[in-house]
Amino acid sequence: MDSIDEIKYRPIGTIHSPFQQPEGTPIQPPGATGIRGTVDVFPQYTDGLRDIDGFSHIILIYHFHLSQTSTLLAKPFLDDKAHGIFAIRGVSRPNPIGISVVHLIGVEDNILHIQDVDIIDGTPLLDIKPYIPEFDIRKVTKIGWYENKQGSVKTLKDDGRFIKNPQNSKEKEK
């Protein structure tokens, strides 16, 4: 089988939130409880929103447009030790793709009103999927390095570590 060297996606909309920069942004939706935002779906995709208002939660898939580095080891906000990038949810990934489960408050034409948003204003939206508990909730038996960190995500905010230059990222890994 041939390998694919490059995949290109086009945004289908833009996510809007009160967060203008990474610093101070909640690092996961539980830390953004009650924070409202909107998703401006481009008009040509409006038909794709039909029946989405029947779901209380949606999954937003987006591009970490401010991430300027890619690293295979990084310190997550919840630990002081570097872990493999695929074992954390940091933005400095080989493919800077993010996901967030948000509460869908309402739909007006091509605008989605959302809550519990942990995403920076102006973030390009790649896709939307309905959150369906039967599909999306699993019985989890292991949560790796996060085992002793549970509950602390609600108070942590982004400190900008993942958008700084590569030299700073290497220093943070140590």
Interval 25-45: pLDDT, tens: 887 777 788 999 999 999 999
As a whole number, mean pLDDT of residues 94-102 equals: 94
Return the closest-CA partner of residue 119 out of 3, 8, 14: 14
Return the closest-CA partner of residue 66 out of 37, 90, 44: 90
pLDDT at 166: 42
- Alpha carbon distance 37, 97 (integer Å): 19
pLDDT tens track for 75-86: 887 788 999 999
- Alpha carbon distance 150, 142 (integer Å): 12
pLDDT at 27: 76
The residue ranking higher by pLDDT, 31 or 148, is 31
- Alpha carbon distance 169, 22 (integer Å): 15
User: Is residue 147 pLDDT above 60, yes or no?
Assistant: yes
Q: For residue 136, what is the enclosing H or E element? A: helix 133-136
Q: Which of 12-26, 64-78, 104-118 has the highest mean pLDDT?
A: 104-118
For the chain, the domains span 13-134+142-173
Query: What CATH number belongs to 13-134+142-173?
Result: 2.40.30.70
pTM of the model: 0.81
Dihedral angle over CA of 113, 114, 117, 119, nearest 10: -40
Phi, psi of 71, rounded to the nearest 5 degrees: -140, 155
